[in-house]
Amino acid sequence: MHSIVQSHPSVRRAALSLYLSGVLTLLRPDVAPAARPAFDATALDQYIASEMRAQKIPGLSLAVRQRERLVYVKSYGVATLEHPVPASPQTLFQIGSLGKQFTAAAVMLLARDGKLALDAPLSKYLPEIPPAWHEVTLRLMLNHQSGIAQLTPPARDLLDLHHDYTDEEYLRLASSVPLDFEPGSDASYSDTAYVLLGFVINRVAGRFYGDLLAERVFGPLGMARTRIVSDADIISGRASGYEIAADGGLRNQAWVAPALNRTADGSLYSTVLDLARWDAALTAHRILSEEELQRMWTVEPHRGGERPFHHYGYGWEIKSWRGQRVIEYDGNWQGFQAAMARYEDRHLTVIVLTNLSLCRAQRITHTVAAMFDPALARLDTPLRDAKPLETRQFGEWLAAAEHGTRASLPLTPAGRQLLSRSWVGALGRDLRSTGPVAALALVGEASVRGARERVYRVDTKEMVDFFSVRYADTGDVDDISVYQEY
């Protein structure tokens, strides 16, 4: 694999050319190219190469925007293994669920046009849905609070990836599964809800959602390479997707029926340069207004006022890392993994596209961000624990949540309100789906707004969770927040 992850000379020349000349088309015409950022490019390249070797990633493209400037663009490895073509910043990767933010943008544009309403019931646009779904609204679908069931693993295995579903067939299948919970009472990730949002867009716009995006978003922003996935079309510069086989080697992406590569839950090709254009447009409010973006980037409480465990916006997750706001998402589909993180308070965006399913692209994104801004440094090194009793109490509480049993954790009145039954229940479901918990370590201690905070790194089978536990002067827990990383 060593030869795969080396940056090809032509790629380096292309990246330099794009850096020197392409920024002007990415941002405003009067903005000059950025000066070299204060970071160690050699260390960054060595880190990317080491991750690609360790994870067996064939190809990767990286773009970094900092303070409204495109400061780094580079591609590594190959776009295809059979004919080792170097990846480049123009290489097309599937972006999986990163596409949900574009679906959400399309919904917001149609709401602006008065063609739909976010709080209108889904039945207004899809009258075929069951009567039991009458409380499902478009807003609850956007932020994963609708209760519409996921049809694919790990929750279920009901979707035949080899069947070319018509919209009517897919809608009947989705409608045959009861809601997971009363709409607005909980949050659970649902690709199905976004597929149905695509059907709504098609009906109210009178055309395919991909065509709407091409006209209203991709075209105006110069995202000329971004488009709907197609296995049939001949597309220049398209990467091949890969998966890890049972024996640990690489194999080609699994085939799926064409209809499942046209759905609004994430069926797009894009490049790091096009996504950087999109990122610049978000900052400049070129497509969506500041008010529309703030609505998309707000974590809305459950209908009872409880804080959700999962901080879903509309097509994004809204998080906090070391006190800094992070608006991010990742995507996995058909041999590809992608991640995009906007560190709003730090004016920094990192985009990583790869052609290996289920690789840790989000971890790469976060690590690269810390290389450009030390305030975002990772917390991975265990500390000497001066309060082992607190760690033991937290570990016992976490284990109880994972197993759905009760465990005591001393809470302040505010802590009891914030860590509600629905919040702890969602935590337990999440741990059961990504677990089991393999390791727990204290990795951070600080005073945050006058309160003592301890950060625990919790490694599960599929995720790394950073729990920030805030303590009152009494020693009781005042709040817990979670930063998840795939």
When pLDDT is averaged across residues 130-159 and rounded to a whole number, the result is 95
Q: Please tell me the distance from the alpha carbon of residue 376 to that of residue 373, in angstroms, as a whole number.
A: 6
Domain assignments of the chain as residue spans, ordered by start: 1-378, 388-485
Residue for token pair 């890392």: 321
Q: Which two tokens stand for residue 388?
A: 């082992």
430 pLDDT more than 50: yes
7 pLDDT more than 80: no
pLDDT tens-digit profile of 305-342? 999 999 999 999 999 999 999 999 999 999 999 999 99
For 447, the enclosing helix (H) or strand (E) is strand 437-448
Q: Which two tokens stand for residue 416?
A: 């009891």
Asked if 242 contacts 307 with a C-beta cutoff of 8 angstroms, the reply is no
Asked if 456 contacts 481 with a C-beta cutoff of 8 angstroms, the reply is no
Q: What DSSP letter does each residue of 331-374 carry, written as one string?
A: EEETTEEEEEEEEGGGTEEEEEEESBTT--HHHHHHHHHHHH-G
End-to-end CA distance of the chain: 23
When pLDDT is averaged across residues 155-181 and rounded to a whole number, the result is 95
How much is the pLDDT for 408?
A: 82
Asked if 217 contacts 279 with a C-beta cutoff of 8 angstroms, the reply is no
Domain 388-485 in this protein, CATH class: alpha beta
When pLDDT is averaged across residues 213-239 and rounded to a whole number, the result is 97
Q: Please tell me the distance from the alpha carbon of residue 95 to that of residue 61, in angstroms, as a whole number.
A: 12
When pLDDT is averaged across residues 100-124 and rounded to a whole number, the result is 98
451 pLDDT more than 80: yes
Q: Which two tokens stand for residue 45?
A: 């390249």
For residue 169, how many other CB atoms are within 10 A of its CB? 12
How much is the pLDDT for 37?
A: 52
Question: What's the pTM value of the predicted model, to 2 decimals?
Answer: 0.91
Q: Please tell me the distance from the alpha carbon of residue 122 to that of residue 132, in angstroms, as a whole number.
A: 12
12 pLDDT more than 60: no
Query: 39 falls in which pLDDT band (50, 70, 90)?
Result: confident
Percent of the chain whose pLDDT exceeds 70: 92
Q: Quick one: how far is CA 261 from the chain centroid?
A: 19
CA distances to 168, 355, 456, 470, 472 from 387, rounded to whole Å, are 58, 44, 13, 14, 15
Q: Which two tokens stand for residue 243?
A: 């998966």
Q: Which residues of 309-337 are buried (b: 16+ CB within 10 A; e: fewer)?
A: bbbbbbbbbbbebbebebbbbbbbbbbbb
Q: Please tell me the distance from the alpha carbon of residue 251 to that of residue 66, in angstroms, as a whole number.
A: 36
15 pLDDT more than 90: no
Least confident segment among 241-255, 365-379, 400-414: 400-414
How much is the pLDDT for 449?
A: 82
Query: 235 falls in which pLDDT band (50, 70, 90)?
Result: very high
Q: Please tell me the distance from the alpha carbon of residue 188 to that of residue 180, in angstroms, as a whole number.
A: 8
Paired with 358 in beta bridges are none
How much is the pLDDT for 192?
A: 98
Q: Please tell me the distance from the alpha carbon of residue 366 to that of residue 321, in angstroms, as a whole number.
A: 10
Q: What DSSP letter does each residue of 218-273 carry, written as one string?
A: IHHHT-TT-EE--SSS--TTBPPPEEE-TTSSEEEPPP--GGGGS-TTT-EEE-HH
Fold equal for 1-378 and 388-485 = no
Give 363 or 15, the one with higher predicted confidence: 363
Mean pLDDT taken over the chain: 91
pLDDT tens-digit profile of 263-287? 999 999 999 999 999 999 999 999 9
Q: Please tell me the distance from the alpha carbon of residue 354 to that of residue 41, in angstroms, as a whole number.
A: 20
Classify domain 1-378 at the CATH superfamily level. DD-peptidase/beta-lactamase superfamily (3.40.710.10)
How much is the pLDDT for 367?
A: 97
CA distances to 87, 118, 134, 151 from 137, rounded to whole Å, are 42, 7, 8, 19
CA distances to 49, 242, 314, 480 from 322, rounded to whole Å, are 27, 34, 23, 13
The Cα diameter of the chain in Å comes to 65
How much is the pLDDT for 153?
A: 86
Residue type, 75: S
Total length of the chain: 486
When pLDDT is averaged across residues 72-92 and rounded to a whole number, the result is 97
How much is the pLDDT for 379?
A: 94
Percent of the chain whose pLDDT exceeds 90: 89
- Please report the sign of the dihedral spanned by the C-alpha atoms of residue 204, residue 210, residue 215, residue 217: positive
Query: 34 falls in which pLDDT band (50, 70, 90)?
Result: very low
Paired with 243 in beta bridges are 251
